[in-house]
Amino acid sequence: MIITMATPKAKKKERSLDHYARAIRDDIATLGEKMDFGFAKVHKQMRDIREDLKRFNEAMVSKADLEETIRRELDKSPYAKESDLNDLRTRVVRLEEKLGLAPRHHALS
């Protein structure tokens, strides 16, 4: 029979208050660095969004400008004038029908 003697476990050394203070200080410093990085990243994203909005605003045409441009282009277009003539022909035919006149072929162009 072998008899072993129990060896006492080494008593764990208690850490000093300075150790915990250093650990807390290091954690706070790391957290501060992460927050600085996060804020810088958000700031950059906001700056990018502002630049995108500025480009969009510069590229967009106001509704009034767009209406005026369309009106000028339609005035230049021979198709728009033909459409106006067709509309006038249709209106004249309706008026003739309402007045009881015999419809005629209208050559307005």
pLDDT by residue (tens digit) across 49-62?
999 998 888 777 67
For the stretch 62-83, pLDDT in tens is 766 777 887 788 778 777 677 7
- Which residue's structure tokens are 């209106």? 91
For the stretch 82-95, pLDDT in tens is 777 788 888 888 88
- Which residue's structure tokens are 């208690």? 14
Q: Which amino acid is at 15?
A: R
Which tokens in the block code for residue 36?
């600085």
Average pLDDT of the chain to the nearest whole number: 81
